[in-house]
Structure 1
Amino acid sequence: MKKNPTAGYLVWRLATKWGALLDRALAPYGLTQAQFSVLGTLYGVTRAGGQPSQRELSDHTGLDPVFVSKLVRTLEGNGLVRRTTDPSDSRAVRLTLTDRGVEAAESAIDRVMTLQNQLAEPLGGPDSEQTRQLVATLTTLLDAPPPPDPGRNP
């Protein structure tokens, strides 16, 4: 056990813990974490009136476009997502949720939100000042440009 853990180590441990919790929570819906990130994001964008392309969804989730394409194909095969060619750009694929996809997204989102609230309980709950500070700190870290590759010569 580390006596003075680094921030990187703690972020990694928290991400690993969160991932394991998500896997267990999403298993009853037949979803992986990555599939949920695409399905949930598509649900949110669709509810806001959008019909994103796979590329836009990739940009929004931060996932690699090739990975998003594979995830979308799986979700489509499971009857949750529909892909259509963009009428204004034949290279682009637009995404929509099927009725079954909407139901799956809503159920999974409810479960994940419950899990998030439980995760925030040690900080005083999801609306506590301590949770807001944690979110602000994590946002700062995520918004920062990546550091230079230590293996590359300047």
Structure 2
Amino acid sequence: MSAFVASGPVDSGRINTDPFWPSIDLDHLRATLRIDASVTPARLETAVIAAVVNLNRELGEWRTTQLAAGYSTLDEVPGDRIKDVSVQVHLYRRAIEAGTGAEVCERYRDYSATNTGANKAVELTPNIDDYRRDLRWAIRDFLGRPRTTVELI
């Protein structure tokens, strides 16, 4: 198991983890997910770290295999590229974004105990499910597995 070190958003606005994985740009993530200022930098950082911890644990065995093959970063692993960035890096970031989005939406309920806050929480529930689905799909795509498993009973 790798050591996990997190830093940011002090000066860089990034969350850095194990050197194998790409760092996460908090400003880009905030813009991608359209997270407004009601989510404080500290709350966003906490949500991103939770997403990173979960994803890095889930991909730990895959990472170990890549390190054993001689690749020291995710971007070095051979594969297709989009905008000169590894597809694997794009999928990793997508999974972090989806995990963070779900975490932020789940925590949004804490903002207000009023009827407006409760109604907003009910409206966000489909978004949480969508984020969780996107997270699962990004991981499945990352690992090269089908998105759906179907068995006949």
- For this structure pair, what is the TM-score category when the shorter chain's length is used for normalisation? under 0.3
Higher helix share: 1
The TM-score, its normalising length taken from structure 1, stands at: 0.27
Bigger radius of gyration among the two = 1
The TM-score, its normalising length taken from structure 2, stands at: 0.27
Higher strand share: 1
